[in-house]
Amino acid sequence: MNYSPNDLQNITFKKSVMGYSEDAVNEVLDKIIEDYTEYIRENIELKDRIAVLNEGMQHYKNIEDSLQNTLLVAQQTSEEVKKNAYEKADNIIKEAELKAQKIINDANQEVIKIKFEYEELKKKLHVFKSKSETLLLSQLEILRQMFGDDDDT
């Protein structure tokens, strides 16, 4: 039987000539010792259970901290990868623009070269034509002189 504090306060023992009944007092004391022992045992069990729960809670707190750190590292790594990807993309674009500009410049130089060659060939053709006309005219003049001017005939 578990005594409540109120029960203990209201216990009365019958008095006899010799004082209180020893058996009744011993019986109450035995029950109080039994209750007190049970409370101590329950208190120890509850403290042990609290310690186990605290250990479990600390374990999960450590896991939570580890996960938060892992998440933070993953976010930082993600940002670095993203930044590096953007930088690499920018470098690729700049390199492509430089190559395109070089191709355009080379093509423009080739156009200038071809135009120059074309103009040179036109000049040579004009010189050749002029020389050919002069040669033909002189040959015609020689032929006229050799055979005379038979235009009258």
> Tell me: the pLDDT tens digits for 51-95?
999 999 999 999 999 999 999 999 999 999 999 999 999 999 999
Q: How far is residue 64 from each of residues 46, 57, 61, 71, measured CA to CA in Å?
A: 26, 10, 5, 10
CA neighbor of 29 nearest in space, from 44, 8, 4 = 8
Lowest mean pLDDT among 9-18, 101-110, 115-124: 9-18
Contact 2, 35 (CB under 8 A): yes
User: pTM value?
Assistant: 0.46
What confidence tens digit (pLDDT) does each residue in 125-145 have? 999 999 999 999 999 999 999
Contact 23, 51 (CB under 8 A): no
Q: What share of residues in the chain are helix, strand, coil (percent, to 5)?
A: 85, 5, 10
Contact 21, 14 (CB under 8 A): yes
Contact 125, 117 (CB under 8 A): no
- Token couple for 83: 């930044």
